A and B are shown apart, each in its own frame.
Chain A
């Protein structure tokens, strides 16, 4: 049985190895470059010194250096967002064909009528392929974790949307979930291409729903207020790495003055009068946020959520394999 799984999936394993190597060829040189610039700007000292302070002065030198760093690597950081789609590939190319290709070619009638029960066939196959997937995803997560470290430290963005999704144990959860979704879709449709389409749609929908609606509320959100007229230590420290879910300007009476969820007003002493005229005395900024030290907890919660979803989907798929089809 082990031999059969290896024989059937060795090409996929090879493809995954090549993909991992290709990603490494992109990430290793750029990662080294980022590290060099990070050291040149001496951003390490900033992180060590004021990195965890909640508020900083607006003309804080570290802020300036951080902006220089982000400015230089903005394009790279954006390009790296393409990597967000990598876990979906596990569903498309490992998960969807696993049962669907057998059914499409009729070979399930060959393999399910040998002296091995369908339950065992499914468990061995899912166990080995899923285990291989965990290895590949872990290797990838470690690689990206190394690559993204200077970006995390220099920008404080790692807890925000998309950057959170790009690193850490959640990657293993996403990959397993995509895989399980693919297996189930393939079992339901019995056809590879429709299964792939379903997998992609289902994966994106679930990811977006969790990221937008569940993740901000994994733990109760915190709030902090600070004046719109900036004093010496008045600006929230971006480098601290809090995840600002939303922010806005409120009047003294607590009425929200700015539209949307991303507005912040920080007025220099020189334009103090104009700001007061516009927003009224006593207006303040308010951030709704998840504090930076919850990053790993949130990674753990989200990874566990997707692993549990994956296990449930696989259990349904195994049940279908045992009961249905011929």
Chain B
């Protein structure tokens, strides 16, 4: 199956260039699938937003990537290796879990010591500096730090591993807007310094819009939309004009979302060429509009064909 696979490694890009790669990946809890048929390949060096409503499978995907969970189906490869096999891989991946769990009765300094004891590579001085500059008191138990400071401690621990891949699960969800901005600033500064690949999850795109250059949208346990932000924006347009059948507009591959008034239609479309229709005003879309349009219609990612693997009878017909 292929979700909206814009910009997947195009011919030639070797597979080991992916920081995170999944094929047919699925995870089932007792009853329900938390993630199904997930296929993605995240190129190195990207800052990817992993977006989707609560329960869409974001946390499951990240936990699979750090080996906290084992897949039910398919395979996942992180930096070319299978998580959970070789503990050395965990030393190359920074992970901040949801709600930034820390030991409440440990001080910030003790957390850094924990990181140094448990990792072969851990830049203690870097972490200390960073927290010092942010004014996070290292000698105080983290229970008595603010949410923003706790998040900074967790981020500093993850970054001090000098990871090649950094996975952050809803890192800013519990922070106030100021702490949010500060957190993302620190993150971006470090990313620029260390040149790593980042995956940030959030149920709100607005949190991440400014920092990410790659988008993974999960919906109902499936990958719905995937690709570099600039390509996604380039290939989607907003058409405004008199009410009409969008299928007949040249250059429109699919309509993601249509809203109509009596006289006018507003269409968010995926294009496969320039839209040439004098009756329609063509506008660029914002990333937020785009994501909301896809999220509003769980089937949208399925266009133009089914997301599931081709049904056997169809294969038969082709043969």
In the assembled complex, B114 has its CB within 8 A of some CB on chain A: yes
Question: Is the CB–CB distance between B120 and A107 below 8 Å?
Answer: no
Mask: chain A, 5-31; 1 = CB below 8 Å from B; 0 = not:
001100000000000000000000000
Asked if A4 is at the interface (CB within 8 A of a chain B CB), the reply is yes
For A101-124 the 0/1 string (1 means CB < 8 A from B) is 000011101111111110010000
Are A112 and B104 in contact (CB-based, < 8 A)? no
Q: A115-B90, A116-B87 are in contact. Are A4 and B104 (CB under 8 A)?
A: no
Given A114-B119, A326-B63; A107-B69 close (CB under 8 Å): no
> Which residues of A sit under 8 angstroms from B114, Cβ to Cβ?
4, 7, 111, 114
Closest to A120 in B: B87
A112 to B102, CA, bound (A): 12
Asked whether A224 is an interface residue with its Cβ less than 8 Å from the other chain, the reply is no
- CB <8 Å contact, A107 and B119: no
Q: Does A113 lie within 8 Å of B90, measured CB to CB? A: yes
Cβ contact within 8 Å between B120 and A115: yes
Residues in B whose Cβ lies below 8 Å from that of A4:
114, 117-118
Contact call A326/B118, Cβ cutoff below 8 A = no
Contacts of B110 in A (CB 8 A): 7
Cross-interface CB contact of A1 among B70, B103, B118, cutoff 8 Å: B118
Residues of A near B249 (CB, < 8 A) are: none
A252 within 8 A of B: no
Chain A residues within 8 Å of B115, by CB: 114
**Cross-interface CB contact of B68 among A7, A107, A114, A326, cutoff 8 Å:** A326
- Chain A residue nearest to B120 (CB atoms) is A115
Central interface residue in A112, A113, A120, by most chain B CB within 10 Å:
A113
With A110-B102, A326-B63 as known contacts, state yes or no: A115 contacts B113, CB within 8 Å.
no
Report the nearest B residue to A114, measured CB to CB.
B118
Contact B87 A3, beta carbon cutoff 8 Å? no
How big is chain B's contact interface, by range?
20 to 34
Residue B252 interfacial (CB < 8 Å): no
Structural contact, B68 and A109, CB atoms closer than 8 A: yes
B294 at the interface (CB under 8 A from A): no
The answer, yes or no, to whether A323 is at the interface (CB within 8 Å) is yes
Does B66 count as interface, using CB distance less than 8 angstroms? yes
**Interface flag for A325 (CB, 8 Å):** yes
Tell me which of B4-12, B92-100, B235-243, B257-265 binds A: B92-100
**Per-position 1/0 for B101-138, Cβ under 8 A of A:** 11110100010011101111100000000000000000
Question: Which residue, B88, B90, B110, B157, has most C-beta atoms of chain A within 10 A?
Answer: B90
How many Å from the CB of A188 to the closest CB on chain B?
15
Do B93 and A113 have beta carbons less than 8 Å apart?
A: yes
Q: Are A107 and B103 in contact (CB under 8 A)?
A: yes
Chain B residue nearest to A110 in the complex (CB): B101
User: Is B118 a contact partner of A115 (Cβ separation < 8 A)?
Assistant: yes
With both chains docked as a complex, state the minimum distance between the C-beta of A136 and any C-beta of chain B, in angstroms. Answer: 22
Alpha-carbon gap, A7 to B90, bound state (A)? 23
Measured CA separation A135–B308 after assembly (Å): 60
A114 and B101 form a contact (CB under 8 A): no
| A115 contact set on B, CB distance < 8 A | 87-88, 90-91, 118-121, 161
Q: Is the CB of A111 within 8 A of B106?
A: no
Can you name the residue of chain A whose Cβ is closest to the Cβ of B89?
A115
Measured between beta carbons, the chain B residues less than 8 angstroms from A109 are 63, 68, 95, 97, 101
Closest to A326 in B: B68
Contact of B101 among A1, A106, A116, A323 (CB under 8 A): A106
Q: How far is the CB of A110 from chain B (nearest CB, A)?
A: 5
User: Cβ of B161 and Cβ of A107 under 8 Å apart?
Assistant: no
The complex places the Cα of A115 from the Cα of B158 at a distance, in Å, of: 11
A1 to B88, CA, bound (A): 15
**Which of chain A's residues 157-196 have a Cβ closer than 8 Å to chain B?**
none
The smallest C-beta distance from B159 to any residue of chain A, in angstroms, reads 13
Q: B55-75 toward A: CB 8 Å interface, digit per residue (1/0)?
A: 000000001001111100000
Please, how many angstroms separate the alpha-carbon atoms of A105 and B102 in the complex?
8
| CB-defined contacts of B161 to chain A, threshold 8 Å | 114-115
Contacts of A105 in B (CB 8 A): 101, 103-104
Contact residues in A for B117 (Cβ distance below 8 Å): 1, 3-4
Residues of chain B within 8 A of A107, CB atoms compared: 101-103
Give complex CA distance A82, B69 in Å: 44
Interface of A toward B, CB cutoff 8 Å = 1, 3-4, 7-8, 105-107, 109-117, 120, 323, 325-326
Task: Please list 8 pairs of residues, one from A and one from B, whose beta carbons are closer than 8 Å in the complex, sorted by A's number.
Answer: A7-B110, A105-B101, A106-B97, A106-B101, A107-B103, A109-B95, A110-B154, A115-B119
The list of the 7 closest CB pairs from A to B, nearest first, reads A115-B91, A326-B68, A106-B101, A109-B97, A117-B87, A114-B118, A115-B119
Supplied contacts A114-B118, A115-B88, 5 more A-B pairs, CB within 8 Å: A105-B101, A106-B98, A113-B97, A114-B119, A326-B69
